[in-house]
A and B are shown apart, each in its own frame.
Chain A
């Protein structure tokens, strides 16, 4: 059969993480693919070498516009590993609260987008509406909806205001029944089950070979979670469990993320109950020469940071690895053999940033013509498939 190369991307510059996919298709089947990154490389590792240890977390918060706590968290772990700092207990609880609130709003964002991609636009609007109060709470408590920047070497920059504790409990009281409703809607919907089961399967062995992390790995039966494996913040002080699924398909990835929302709620409530007044920052007088490694569990997987210090106020080398960097290459293992109408959904299930799908060109090499597919047309393909399944009942 004739092979067609479909370039997807590379980017829309107002979004983060532009990517370029090249899908080789035979008819509707994807038979090969290639991916390229770094169309918006910001040189953050190099910039870090010119910033002091107090300034770096502020920059790192800007690596991602959604999970802006996880990178500063990994930075703090790396530096605390290097300096051997003991973080005060109140700061540990606050760190956990922030990280879990972030996971909640990030997973809700994903649920909304996933709904949009399969043509469930009501889910999209509801999930994003439910997410809004979390961001508002962040603004009231820490001054910003997304870049809360509350982590620093040795603890937290700002205390959690006492006046925001009760509103947070009420927020969870309001939010969680809605998340439960969404979860049931996904788990019980026969159309969704048919639409999402068995596509984009990542086997357990492939998940290991491609070094995936986070929900992508956990949906394939790998129980990797930094929060459990190397407990930081307050994760060893509260009761929760790692959510895994065995199937490795898009449905399993959705289930992992939805069930994780409930674990996040459990963690936040326990942290709030145990929060006691006390110091929030340990004093760090100097950063000695040496090497430190820190990792943290972001909503999308493990963020991994390595720092090499030379005894000055600036790092000699700073290395950042975001979770999508290891999850995205595994797209190759998931998409080959899939239908073109599912390709977008399979990428979305890994929860990278979607900017790449803004503009698509279909090139048919044997003819001279180039056909352009817009994001809308790709979406239409996916929606049409859902509609077909629904009609067949």
Chain B
């Protein structure tokens, strides 16, 4: 497919100063690693100049940082470009893409709820996924969150059953060896 090759060359040239890696995993899938300071610019280029459609974004906890992967479909070219950016723990932050178009609104709120990365300048940063009475600062998709079993889950159960005033967040966060799988 010559057209795809041509667009990919243009894209690579356009993102050269912004990304640290431009990886063609296979002809249909491209991964671009963009440091957080350039993430908004790179997203803007993909959305505005290359008319990409944001399929969704995926959040991922890699122990030291929270990664956000914006998946853009360039439908006519049979191509998915994934922009990977990240925020370092303990206070991960990236610039919000929902400033550029409303289609990114929900997914960024979801990633914030589940993984605790703050999207700066998000137009509507309210809670979306978690219940209103969910304790603040507890992120269920983080690696240190005990999904099943483990000492922390037991502590939480005890706290719930005994009606102990110990806040749920503390019971979750402080127990040693929090049973998260790695």
Contact A81 B29, beta carbon cutoff 8 Å: yes
Q: Could you tell me the distance between the alpha carbons of A224 and B128 in the complex, rounded to whole angstroms?
A: 27
A-side interface size class: 35 or more
Given A50-B147, A229-B76, A321-B55, A308 and B102 contact (CB-CB distance below 8 Å): no
Contact A325 B60, beta carbon cutoff 8 Å: no
Contact A38 B129, beta carbon cutoff 8 Å: yes
Q: Could you tell me the distance between the alpha carbons of A46 and B59 in the complex, rounded to whole angstroms?
A: 12
Contact B101 A211, beta carbon cutoff 8 Å: yes
Q: Which of B55, B59, B60, B101 contacts A304 (CB 8 A)?
A: B55
Q: Specify the main secondary structure of chain B where it touches its partner.
A: mixed
Q: Which of B51, B58, B181 contacts A50 (CB 8 A)?
A: B181
Q: Which of A49, A230, A317 contacts B58 (CB 8 A)?
A: A317
Contact B55 A211, beta carbon cutoff 8 Å: yes
Contact B60 A308, beta carbon cutoff 8 Å: yes
Q: Chain A contacts of B69 at CB under 8 A?
A: 306
Asked if B44 is an interface residue, CB under 8 A from chain A, the answer is no
Q: Specify the main secondary structure of chain A where it touches its partner.
A: mixed
Asked if A366 is an interface residue, CB under 8 A from chain B, the answer is no
Q: Which of A46, A49, A209, A302 contacts B55 (CB 8 A)?
A: A302
Q: Which partner residue on chain B sits nearest A224 by CB separation?
A: B75
Interface string of B153-182 (1 = CB under 8 A from A): 000000000000000000000000000010
Tell me the smallest distance from the CB of A307 to a CB of chain B, in Å. 10
Q: Which of B26, B28, B106 contacts A325 (CB 8 A)?
A: B106
Given contacts A211-B104, A291-B82, list 5 more A-B pairs with CB under 8 A. A213-B55, A223-B75, A229-B75, A306-B56, A317-B58
Chain A interface (Cβ < 8 Å from any Cβ of B): 36-38, 41, 43, 45-46, 49-50, 81, 84, 208-213, 223-224, 229-230, 290-291, 293, 295, 302, 304, 306, 308, 314, 317, 319, 321, 325-326, 329, 332
The list of the 3 closest CB pairs from A to B, nearest first, reads A211-B103, A321-B56, A319-B58
